[in-house]
Each structure stands twice: as C-alpha cells, then as structure tokens.
Structure 1
Amino acid sequence: MDTMRERFAPVVSRILDEDPRVAVVLAEIGKDGFAEARRRHPHRVINVGIREQLLIGAGAGLALTGLRPVVHTFASFLVERPFEQLKLDLGHQDAGAVLVSAAASFDWPAGGYTHMAPGDVALLDTLDGWTVHVPGHPDEAETLLRHAVAAGDDKVYVRLSVQANRQAHAVDGARALTVREGRRGVVVAVGPMLDAVLDATEGLDTTVLYMTTVRPFDAAALRRATGAAGTDVVLVEPYLAGTSTAAAGEALADVPHRVLGLGVGRRELRRYGTVAEHVAAHGLDAGALQKRIGDFVAGA
C-alpha cells in the first residue's frame, strides 16, 4: 500500500490538470513529486525554496488573485514556523488555502524534534475558521484532498501521516462514522488511530466513532452516540493529547459527562527510535490503550 504522502503528488497533479484555478506552492520539500506537473503548468507550480514564511505569504497572495493554492511541507514548517503568516496573511486577510502537511507528530524520528509537530492541530485551534482533515488511509487522503480543494475559498488543513489503518472508510469530509456500537461509553478514534482503538476495545462494550474531519467537530454524532452508550467519552488522537477535549465537552455541555483525552504527551522524547517506539512511548499502542480505556470506563 502506498503512503498518504506518496498519493498526494499524483492526486494534486491530476487536480492541476482538471482545474485551472488550482496552484501548488512548495518550499523545496516534495518538489520532485511535481516535476512533471511543473512542466505542464509552469506558472501554477511554484517552489519558493526553504522559506516557510514566504510559502504561506505566496499562497495567500495567489488566493487573493482568485486562485486556489495547495501549500505543502512538513507540519512543523507549515504550521509552527510560519504561524504569524497563517494568522495574518490568511486569517486576517480572509484568504483561503489548502495546507497539506507531512511528517505528522513523529513520522520521521531521525529528523529530531525540529521535524515533529504534535501540537499542530491545537495551534490551528487558536485561529478561527479552519477545517481540519486527518485521514487514516491513503484512499481517505485522496477523498479529503479533493474535498479540500473544492471547498470554495475556505482555509483547510490536511494532515498526512505514514501511519495508516488497514482499510479505508467512506469519509465525506464532514461527518464521523459509527464503526462499532456498545452501551458503556464512546471512544472517538481520529484518523490513523482507528485500528489500534478497535484492537484495544475488542471485548469492551463501547461505541467506536471514527473521525477524519476534526474541525468542525461533529458534535451531533457524539451526542447521538452518547445517547445510547452513556456519556463517558475517550478521545484518541494522533497529536497532542487533549486537543479535542474542549470540543467534546462543549458538545455535551448540557449533560453530566466525563472526557478522557489520549494522544501524544507533552514530554519530549530525546531518542530517535522508530515510529512504533514513539507510539508505544506515548501509550498509543493497542495494549496501552486497552488498559487506559478499560480503566476509565470501569471507573464510571
């Protein structure tokens, strides 16, 4: 199976052929994947070099001319380094763009902490009007990329990862899916966390909701699920733990509830290791999740 990022350039290259309004802006990273597209569309595939603030500024400028920019680099360079440009060049100017990241929270451990961005979604949460997609499979990434490009002039973030579930689901860019029904609590699995959550909750009488679009948060789906399964909610997210606890709490504000946010911890892991080792160190493997979810639900 190809990775989400391997799917990204071919899909967006086809979109460039189909839609003359679309442009791609790169900061050196990923340029080889667009070499052929750049030959076909030299004025709509732009590489600004290793200048991430300019990356966002150029994307915003293209948006203000009426184009639909797709802007790509590693998450730490796309959200964290040029955050002021996200806030002002896009947000303050009310300009839209599709930001597509790679490397996720720790997809390239050998790159060190400079190439890790577990806080990217939480940081975007401080800004208004962003849609955030977190696909869990390359097929879902393709679907959500097309949704993002077609979303008028909205500000959209698509978070790609090397971690992926075994199978794709029919995502629509808005609603959560009920993957398993139970009567003792609801576990919300975000993107590539679904397989681990399903393995961890095997034998537990819990509902599992699958979210690949986390902003706007599907409050209606959570309320429906808790109506049948009770109001204990566990959020399992592939980025900073607790990122969506406020959104879940707001969805259930009128009923007594408990929310547990699981995800990447704040403590920096200072050894490179592997992706699997980072997953385990943050307690996001199936075995650790089984205990953490089971203890929480049992303590109701």
Structure 2
Amino acid sequence: MTATITRGTDQRERFYGLLPELLAADDRLVAVLAEIGAGYLDPAAVAPVADRVLNLGIREQLLIGVAGGLALTGRRPIVHTFAPFLVERPFEQVKLDLGHQDVGAVLVSAGGSYDMPGGGQTHFGHRDVALLDTLHGWTVHVPGHADEAEALLRAAAAGTGRVYVRLDGRSNATAFDRGDGRMAVLRRGSRGSRGTIVAIGPMAERTLAATAGLDVTVLYAATVRPFDGATLRATLDAPDVVLVEPYLRDTSTAEVSRALRDVRHRVLGLGVGLDELRTYGSRTHHDARHGLDEAGLRQAITDFLR
C-alpha cells in the first residue's frame, strides 16, 4: 500500500505524509519517534508498516541510542522530534551512538529556531547546526520549501550516511534548490557589484526583498554541509559576503572563510543572536528582535556594504 502524500506547502506536514511511503518502499527504514509527530501520522497509511514505527515516548537520549542500535543491525533509522530534543538534549548520544560508532541515520527536526515562541527556550532550536558542526561527517539540509524537503528526505532515506534535515514552519513560495548540493544563483550582480549575499533555506525570498535595488549577487543554499564554496568563489565579484541564516548567527562564517582562505575578504553573519529573549511574543516579533525581518536585513546589509 502506498501512502497518500500531503502536497501542501508546510514542510512538516509533507514529512508526515511522505514517511509511510518511504517505509513501505524500503525495508531497511525504521521511523523512531519521541512522541512528537506520532499523532500526525495517518493511521491507515501507517498500518502496513506499523511494526517499523517506534514511538519511545519523551525519552530523547533513548531515541538516539535506539537509532544507533538499529543502524548497527543494518537498519536505516529516520529519527524525528523538535530540534532541541533531537540535537541538544541527546548530544552525547548523537556524538557517540551515531558518530563514534560510525553508523548512518536521518535526523529530521521540526520547529525551526522558534516556531513555537510560547514554548520558550526549551523549544528553541537555533543552536542545532552549530552543534553538529563540532562533529565529523554530517550532511545538513535546510530546505526552504516543502518540495525541497521532500526531495532531500527521499535522497537521505536512500543513502547510508549521517544526515540532518532541518524543517521550518515557514517557507519560500518557490522551490529554488538545484538538487545537487550546489548553491543556486537567484540574482547576479554586475562586475562592479557591492558583494554577495548567501541566503539559507526559508530566508531566501525575504533576502531578495531586503536587497531589492542593491547591486549584489544573491545565492541560495538548501544544503549547508558540505558548504558549497566552489559556487561562492565562482560568482564572487566584490570580496564582501553576507550570510543570512535562520539559526544561530555566524554558524557558517568559518565555512566562508575557509572557502575564501586565499582571498582577502570580509564576512557578516546574520541570524539568531545569542541574547536570550524572555518575552516570547510571536515568530514575527522574534524575527524583528534578531534583525531577521526584511527591514532589519536591509539595514544590516547596507550598513556592512557601505
């Protein structure tokens, strides 16, 4: 039986619709959940593969430990919960049970950086990619559209390595990803352009709007690890680079520096700041406080390039 996939624009809904189909198509795959998402799966679609859908309850360290054990037996676990429960809370297990044992898994998060502002710091996931950067061998995808999320999930499920797919509650209206891990050129500046802007995942259309009328090149990445330094170098005119990331500010600044290690350059990292915001408000309020709304991006980029 093939599951019916939700073809909407919500990345998380697309994942829940796709998961039963992936399981049905590949006997290696096992879905491992920690309560989050279990109630969103279609019971009729899950029924034929129910023996490979494990809900461990709110036990996040166990979540990763079980995934590591399954991987050692030749299974391919697809592990899902909110980002802070998937990467931060069980970080030791991610490091040892997956990394040290050198086994593969697909970690799929939900909630972006602060999709649930009322949940506060326990549910804020902006440190995830920076933490995974301290470990070896991870591929990291940050889709900006549900179609991108589906394509990246399919490829990750069919593979063997350690892959993190970061799902966000917001999306671009258009899918921009090339599907080959390379950055896409969304806008090309002139030969005398003022710099290059690298927009990650769901920040693409907001970045395009914020840079309207500026003579800059705008690149788009849905895969951030490995970082596509080759496209950045090939399209670089002015040696000034701005990163617009939907998670912790400066997470990829070192990647830019490595890619341009023989080029004198400046880099500005924009993203979620280190300040802990204790009045939660809405996601829009958080964007504004971190300078990730259109006005904040415009101000930061023009000040830097000036």
CA distance in 2, matches of 1:128, 1:36: 39
Q: CA offsets, 1:219-239, max 9 Å, x none?
A: 10111111xx22100000000
The 5 Å alignment of 1:1-300 reads 1-34=8-41, 35-151=43-159, 153-182=160-189, 183-226=193-236, 229-298=237-306
Deviation at 1:42, TM superposition (A): 2.6
Q: CA offsets, 1:186-230, max 9 Å, x none?
A: 00000000011000110000000000000000010111111xx22
Task: Decide whether the 8 Å contact of 1:140 with 1:171 is kept in 2.
Answer: no
SS across alignment from 2:50: coil
What code does the residue aligned with 1:192 have? Answer: P
CA distance in 2, matches of 1:21, 1:32: 23
CA distance in 1, matches of 2:125, 2:281: 16
SS across alignment from 2:284: helix
TM-score normalised by the chain length of structure 1: 0.96
CA distance in 2, matches of 1:40, 1:180: 46
Range that drifts further, 20-29 or 77-86: 20-29
Task: Decide whether the 8 Å contact of 1:133 with 1:173 is kept in 2.
Answer: no
What code does the residue aligned with 1:224 have? Answer: A
Deviation at 1:250, TM superposition (A): 0.4
CA distance in 1, matches of 2:238, 2:155: 33
CA distance in 2, matches of 1:113, 1:234: 27
What code does the residue aligned with 2:298 have? Answer: Q
Deviation at 1:33, TM superposition (A): 2.7
SS across alignment from 1:249: helix
Deviation at 1:103, TM superposition (A): 0.9
Task: Decide whether the 8 Å contact of 1:100 with 1:157 is kept in 2.
Answer: yes
TM-score normalised by the chain length of structure 2: 0.94
- In the TM superposition, structure 1's runs of 4+ consecutive aligned residues that sit over 6 Å from their partners are none
CA distance in 2, matches of 1:36, 1:28: 18
Structure 2 unaligned runs (5+)?
1-7
SS across alignment from 2:219: strand
SS across alignment from 1:198: helix
Deviation at 1:241, TM superposition (A): 0.3
Deviation at 1:244, TM superposition (A): 0.2
What code does the residue aligned with 1:43 have? Answer: D
Task: Decide whether the 8 Å contact of 2:20 with 2:49 is kept in 1.
Answer: no
Task: Decide whether the 8 Å contact of 2:186 with 2:220 is kept in 1.
Answer: yes
CA distance in 1, matches of 2:112, 2:119: 12
Structure 1 unaligned runs (5+)?
none
